[in-house]
Amino acid sequence: MRTLTILGATGSIGASTLDLVRRNRDGFRVVALTGHSNVTVLAALAREFDAEIAVVGDEARLPELRDALAGSGIASAGGEAALIEAAQRPADVTVAAIVGCAGLAPTMAAIEQGRTVALANKEALVSAGGVMTRAVAQYGTTLLPVDSEHNAIFQCLAGNDPAHVRWITLTASGGPFRDWTAERLHTATPAEAVRHPNWSMGAKISVDSATMMNKGLEFIEAYHLFPVGVERLRIIIHPQSIVHSMVEYRDGSTLAQLGPSDMRVPIASALAWPARMETPCEPLDLAAIGTLTFRAPDELRFPATRLAREAVMAGGALPAVLNASNEIAVAAFLSGKIAFTRIVQCCENVLAATPPAPPQCLDEVIAVDQEARAKARVAMELLI
């Protein structure tokens, strides 16, 4: 039986993880569950899985959490320090799924325990890639990617020397606007942008998929996860989202990981690694699917992937700047303040400003993030 902590248990990744645990109760014992502010769900999950402790990020909701857990014997805590303490509790596997920069410190705390971290927090590697990977090496942590694309690459690389890799190819659905003209993109609405054709996701990540920024950020993550160099990473459009990524070796062999569009597949891979576990996902019926198609990305209509590639090649703080400015711009688009095509333009304008010094620690990463957000707000006002 493996002990398990889930940072971000009330979000979509947390829900999918606990669905797998629910179906494999003999395989896991839950140590800690955390959530941002949804006390009702957090308390119910802590009771269902008999967690040792439940932690709410919004400390003002702690009295409510204590009341909800009264008589259960489950400890409760709240606030940023409590999230870090939960991440430091001994657990065989910690799922790091807190969204945004709020997840940076707890993720680092989990890494510093030297065990296994199943990483679903994008900012950990996009904004703090150098800082995080140095910590992984220092503490001997096993870092398992949960994103479907990176988990696919991880599986395709298993047992192989990265020096033998010719290409790592991240697949992208292309989002809901992949066939739209540049003129039509400018008039895209938030309601249209959040209707992803293949995946059920939150509003922000759905917009990132529509701009292709999500794939750009995943490109940066792949750079830190898989040491093959920028020049051997590439992106390809695959509308069916069946092939989740591919690795081509120098002998001409290409290994691809295929699976349904269900996050429980990569989560199960990380939870059970190096073994396998059952999931409730329907098996692929390739005969019914019939056709898998691929095409090159169009960086004229969707320049986000170019920006991400340039940011990671320049290095330093620029990936963190890109991530922070994108969050501000996406929020402005969703609130109706700017046009869809202004999202990436805002990011490019912020990246063109004088870059901050490369961050050497987590506090410096957070400072870069805050500075970039302030610059993005100014840049956004000029685009309205």
Q: Where are the domains of the chain?
A: 2-145, 147-261+291-300, 315-384
β pairing state of 165-172 and 233-237: parallel
d(CA 202, CA 210): 12
Confidence of residue 150 (pLDDT cuts 50, 70, 90): very high
DSSP-derived letter for residue 24 is: T
Q: Please write the tens of the pLDDT for every residue from 222-252.
A: 999 999 999 999 999 999 999 999 999 999 9
Per-residue tokens: 129 = 């890639």
Exposure string over 275-286, b if 16+ CB within 10 A, otherwise e: eeeebeeeeeee
Q: Determine the Cα–Cα distance for residues 81 and 45; give it in Å rounded to an integer.
A: 21
Q: Which two tokens stand for residue 253?
A: 């062999």
E strands along the chain, which residues? 2-7, 28-35, 53-56, 75-78, 93-96, 116-119, 142-145, 165-172, 233-237, 243-249, 254-258
Paired sense of beta strands 2-7 and 28-35, if any: parallel
List, in order, residues 6 or more apart from 3 with CB less than 8 Å away.
28, 29, 30, 31, 90, 91, 92, 93
Q: Taking 90 as the threshold, does the pLDDT of residue 195 lie above it?
A: no
pLDDT at 200: 65
Summarised one tens digit per residue, pLDDT across range 303-338 is: 999 999 999 999 999 999 999 999 999 999 999 999
Q: How far is CA 240 from CA 150, 198, 244, in A?
A: 17, 7, 10
339-375 pLDDT, tens digit per residue, is: 999 999 999 999 998 788 899 999 999 999 999 999 9
pTM for the complete prediction?
Answer: 0.94
CATH of domain 2-145: 3.40.50.720
Q: Alpha-carbon distance 247 to 253, whole Å? A: 8
Query: Rounded to 5 degrees, what angle do the CA atoms 379, 205, 382 make?
Result: 10
**Residue for token pair 């992937």:** 305
Question: Tell me, what amino acid is at 319?
Answer: P
CATH topology of domain 315-384: Rna Polymerase Sigma Factor; Chain: A (1.10.1740)
